[in-house]
Structure 1
Amino acid sequence: MAPPIETPSKIPTSRHSSHPPLNERILSSMNRRSVAAHPWHDLEIGPEAPKIFNCVIEIGKGGKVKYELDKKTGLIKVDRVLYSSVVYPHNYGFIPRTLCEDNDPMDVLIIMQEPVLPGCFLRAKAIGLMPMIDQGEKDDKIIAVCADDPEYRHYNDIKELPPHRLAEIRRFFEDCILSFLNSLQLPIEKIKSQQAEQCAVSLEA
């Protein structure tokens, strides 16, 4: 015989729960020390570096909003909306635990099929470098492919990319980045994957 169905008076309510109310639990958690990891300091560069290294995504492919890492909190903040109709041709982010001359982590443009949400990280492989100068300081951009994307992971050199893809990347930096920063652009050059770390110094813990 089926068990009797409880009447509404017998169904427990939140007042009879052994847990404190939701608002009290939220306030209690806010009073505890945060254990959130900082994507720049705490994320490892990866056990296969410098051949394969981790990258934190700040801006997804096709995006027009420029996000960037807030160094103090570790959150991704909105910097600005791009001034022109240009969008990011590929996912854009940085290599954790690196520090360049401009006091920022090493920037990376990661070529892959799909956009990635800001704040996620992935494994990448360097295939090229966009040398740049920003207000007298080196501000180079690593060109990489996603190491786990079957369409692009076999690329090892930027010269292997289709000419249009290379022109698209160059034009993006000319139209978007350089026009805003008033930087000096140098040609895209070949870079060995081992140079991904050589372009930056290790970030001290």
Structure 2
Amino acid sequence: MIFSNYIAMAGEADGKTYQVSRMPPAALNERILSSMSQKHVAAHPWHDLEIGPGAPAVFNCVVEIPRGSKVKYELDKATGLIKVDRVLYSSVVYPHNYGFIPRTLCEDNDPMDVLVLMQEQVVPGCFLRARAIGLMPMIDQGEKDDKIIAVCADDPEYRHFRDISELPPHRLQEIRRFFEDYKKNENKEVAVNDFLPAEDAINAIKYSM
């Protein structure tokens, strides 16, 4: 608008008429997306990210919550962004990186949940290759909410694990206790059943694909 006023005043001063084209500028996101080919743009981590050629045994996992976090981040289905759902009410933190498997759908209308064991915590929103080693059957407030137990396929300390039975018993106790306790101060009931082997985890992922 400032530019248009300047042209009008200049026209009055020298007696000449100027015609200015007023083409609206393209929106920033349109300009960015137009410079990319569609195959290089992952619009939504749940729907557009590939599950991976090795699925259901080895798959891509989008990390929502880093190990050691007391903040429960989760995928915002509408935007594809990672949002803060809540801060945990109990004095516990996530024992391992936690996220979901893209292009899966479970009975609760959410993607398949996965807990990934690895040496380091990673940032929310990144994805990594994971290998299924077990299944943790869980009931959350009366609804089925099973978790895949996996290891990072590109972590030299964990990639050799093939089944949950190979993990130290104390590690499994830590995982179980976290999920049994993390909602207690919200007066929400969670029941964790016995861990199942890699075969059950692979079948669960295959069923959800």
Same-fold status (TM-score > 0.5): yes
Query: After superposition, what is the alpha-carbon deviation per residue over 1:62-91, rounded to whole angstroms, capped at 9, x for unaligned?
Result: 111000000000000000001122111100
Give the share of equivalent positions with the same residue, in percent: 71
Higher helix share: 2
Query: After superposition, what is the alpha-carbon deviation per residue over 1:108-148, rounded to whole angstroms, capped at 9, x for unaligned?
Result: 00000000100000000111111012344321000000000
Amino acid in the other structure paired with 2:192: Q
| 1:57–1:118 CA contact under 8 A, matched in 2 | yes
Shift of 1:161: 0.6
| 1:126–1:196 CA contact under 8 A, matched in 2 | no
Aligned to 1:20: none
Aligned to 2:27: 28
| 1:178–1:185 CA contact under 8 A, matched in 2 | no
Q: TM-score, normalised by structure 1?
A: 0.79
Mapped pair 1:92 → 2:98: yes
Aligned to 2:64: 58
Gaps of 5+ in 2: 1-23, 34-40
CA distance in 1, matches of 2:149, 2:44: 24
Q: Paired residue for 1:151, among 132, 157, 160?
A: 157
Gaps of 5+ in 1: 1-23
CA distance in 2, matches of 1:117, 1:175: 24
1:1-205, aligned counterparts within 5 Å? 28-30=27-29, 37-177=43-183, 180=186, 181-192=188-199, 194-200=202-208, 202=209
Q: TM-score, normalised by structure 2?
A: 0.77
Give the 3-state SS of the residue equivalent to 1:143 in structure 2.
strand
Amino acid in the other structure paired with 1:51: A
| 2:90–2:184 CA contact under 8 A, matched in 1 | no
Give the aligned length: 177
Shift of 1:187: 1.6
| 1:41–1:97 CA contact under 8 A, matched in 2 | yes
Larger radius of gyration: 2
CA distance in 2, matches of 1:153, 1:184: 29
